[in-house]
Amino acid sequence: MPTAGGVQTAITSGSEIGCNVIQLFTSSPRQWRSSALKEESISAFKEARLVAQTKFCIAHDSYLINLAAPPGDILDKSINSFREELVRAEQLGLDYLVTHMGAHGGDGEDVGLVRLCESLTRIHSDLPGYKVRVALETTAGQGTYLGSTFEHFPRIFDLVGEHERLAVCLDTCHIFAAGYDIRTQEAYADTMGKFGETVGFDRLKVLHTNDSMKPLGSRADRHAHVGEGEIGLEAFRLLVNDDRLYGNPFILETPDAETMHAVNLRRLKDLVSSAE
């Protein structure tokens, strides 16, 4: 949800269309520099959340951040920026901070994974005792980005200091673009079975429920409205009725937020077999 007028507007706007989960940017996602949150903004956000009784509040970090970058200016900026992202998330009392896992820039997956883990370990050490958890997002596999295969995740958990501060965010568009099919009951069972065996449902804490404009295995991160893309409605019916996912936050990142978030939200809710 947008935050024009203050971070608290993400909650009020979301609540108006029936959301009980909100994702927001705590600063501009397309620039390095960010301003510290003012106390009145923090208080207004927490009050809005209390009034709306929002179950989960989640931030997504800046698109510029690359914690797997080669040593140099970009990596330094990324570590500093991500540290600031975590500080703001903690100040607001958010549950998770979602981040892409970064790109190795041609140095190879093994090197990139090690750099990512070193960055996260350093940041954890710099910010001890934080309650907000980092949710590592599955990616579409474009370029040299990490996170397009489930096998990356257990390797990260093994290498990062204080790995209990990490969680996983599964994006339906991204895994589909990376080659994981979920369009039929059989395909869904196979893909989610692989996820459970490799990553573990105990690590899965956030879901991004986006259809895909591009076909299976395209490695293109292009979101579409629920049921209107290459994935189709059946996959989302299976997703929202999967008992293994019960209680986790589901987030829409579909286009045309102002006019279509309410439509996509209703589509998802209508797919639930037995609403609580």
Q: Which of 139, 219, 209, 226 is nearest to 177 (CA)?
A: 219
Residue 96 near residue 206, CB atoms below 8 Å? yes
Which stretches within the chain are classed as H helix? Answer: 8-16, 39-52, 73-92, 109-126, 152-159, 172-177, 185-198, 233-240, 257-271
% of the chain residues with pLDDT over 90: 96
CATH architecture of the domain 59-271 equals: Alpha-Beta Barrel (3.20)
Q: Which of 30, 29, 57, 60 is nearest to 45 (CA)?
A: 57
Is the pLDDT score of 275 beyond 60?
no
Q: How far is CA 48 from CA 8, 54, 247, in A?
A: 6, 9, 22
Domain boundaries, the chain: 59-271
Packing angle between helix 257-271 and helix 233-240, nearest 10 degrees?
A: 60
pLDDT digits (tens, 9 = 90+) for 32-86: 988 899 999 999 999 999 999 999 999 999 999 999 999 999 999 999 999 999 9
pLDDT digits (tens, 9 = 90+) for 188-229: 999 999 999 999 999 999 999 999 999 999 999 999 999 999
* Catalytic residue list: 30, 60, 63, 100, 137, 171, 174, 208, 221, 223, 253
- pTM across the whole model: 0.96
pLDDT, residue 33, reads 86
pLDDT, residue 105, reads 96
